[in-house]
Amino acid sequence: MTAVPDLRRVLILATHPDDDVIGAGGVILRAIAGGGCVRVLFITNGESNTWPQRAMLRKWRITAADREDWARLRSDEAQRSLESLGARGGDCCFFLGYPDQRISELLRNGDTRLQSDLDRHGSEFRPTLVIVPSFFDIHTDHRATAWFAHKAFGPEIPIATYVVHGQAPPMRALFTIRLTPAEQKRKRDAIACHESQLLLSRRRFLAHARATETFYAPEHDVIRVISPMQERLAALRHALRAIAGALRH
Ligand SMILES: [Zn+2]
């Protein structure tokens, strides 16, 4: 374990609205309390979140228009949540609008637009620390975000990873933030801003406001193992699509 890194300019990647506060609400509070600057990039707006939406709308079939409304609702909640932690201003919150539940599809298709967007934000914001989802997260969108993030931010940029679903190997822990009771309450209140997510799992959701936040070592070593396999699979899919297209003509 190492000391808490430099929090002057913290760039946080959240695959869905709420991952930021669940994973790094304490870091956001500490960075801002220390005069630092925080930027959160929401990769998706979390629009494919059908069960809570069905419960809220009291109907089974969710249309494309319903999903758009849900995306707006979730991005409003995310903004309110960040504001409650003190992160304000046009520079602190960006919604990249990639398709929810389909980030791994971008990866499989060899689509590198997300990597370019992350690269651009990195060059523009010049973070002292980047906090990104982990390959050890069991959510496929989180793992795909981890892949794009490690590709975009080279080893020269300090990276810490976080897990929302599942667990990372404890020996990879890099640093831990212990929240004071007051910080823990603010984190809980910020999580509670995501009212749409409290509908079906209030207790489980608020339980994310734990007394500690642990971050893990960058995963360039993991990506070195995964990347060649990933690229070979993408090339194979590309070739199969080309063959299927040729056969149709
Ligand atoms: Zn998520």
Kindly report, residue by residue over 35-86, the tens digit of the pLDDT. Answer: 999 999 999 998 777 778 777 777 778 788 878 988 899 999 999 999 999 9
Report yes or no on 93 lying in a domain. yes
Q: How many Å lie between the centroid of ligand 1 and the Cα of residue 71?
A: 14
Report yes or no on 16 lying in a domain. yes
Tell me the C-alpha distance between 139 and 22, whole Å. 15
Q: How many Å lie between the centroid of ligand 1 and the Cα of residue 100?
A: 9
For 48-57, 109-118, 176-185, which range has the lowest pLDDT when averaged over its residues?
A: 48-57
Provide the token pair at 45.
Answer: 């707006």
19 closest CA partner among 48, 41, 4, 36: 41
Tell me the C-alpha distance between 18 and 190, whole Å. 9
Structural domain for 49, as ranges: 9-221
Q: How many Å lie between the centroid of ligand 1 and the Cα of residue 243?
A: 35
Report yes or no on 30 lying in a domain. yes
Rg, the chain, Cα only: 18
Q: How many Å lie between the centroid of ligand 1 and the Cα of residue 182?
A: 25
Average predicted confidence (pLDDT) for the chain: 90
Q: Averaged over 237-248, what is the pLDDT?
A: 79
Note if the pTM is more than 0.85: yes
Q: How many Å lie between the centroid of ligand 1 and the Cα of residue 16?
A: 4
Residue 216 pLDDT > 70: yes
Q: How many Å lie between the centroid of ligand 1 and the Cα of residue 241?
A: 30
Q: Which helix (H) or strand (E) holds 90?
A: none
* Residue 195 backbone dihedrals phi, psi, to 5 degrees: -60, -35
Report yes or no on 229 lying in a domain. no
Report yes or no on 22 lying in a domain. yes
Structure confidence by residue, pLDDT tens digits, 124-155:
999 999 999 999 999 999 999 999 999 999 88
Q: How many Å lie between the centroid of ligand 1 and the Cα of residue 15?
A: 5
Q: How many Å lie between the centroid of ligand 1 and the Cα of residue 46?
A: 8
37 closest CA partner among 87, 78, 3: 87
Please count the residues of the chain: 249
Tell me the C-alpha distance between 115 and 73, whole Å. 26
Q: How many Å lie between the centroid of ligand 1 and the Cα of residue 244?
A: 34
**What CATH number corresponds to the domain at position 48?**
3.40.50.10320
Report yes or no on 115 lying in a domain. yes
Half-sphere CA count of 146, side-chain side, radius 13 A: 27
Tell me the C-alpha distance between 40 and 249, whole Å. 46
- Enumerate residues 6+ apart whose C-beta is below 8 A from 28: 10, 12, 20, 21, 38, 40, 82, 85, 86, 87
CB 43 within 8 A of CB 107: no
Q: How many Å lie between the centroid of ligand 1 and the Cα of residue 143?
A: 10
Q: How many Å lie between the centroid of ligand 1 and the Cα of residue 203?
A: 17
For the chain, give the percent of residues with pLDDT over 70: 98
- Residue 18 is predicted with a pLDDT of 95
Report yes or no on 234 lying in a domain. no
Count of structural domains within the chain: 1
Q: How many Å lie between the centroid of ligand 1 and the Cα of residue 239?
A: 32
Tell me the C-alpha distance between 92 and 40, whole Å. 6
Report yes or no on 246 lying in a domain. no
Strand arrangement, sheet containing 9-14: 93-98, 37-44, 9-14, 129-133, 159-162, 212-216, 173-178
Neighbours of ion ligand 1 (CB under 5 A): 15-16, 19
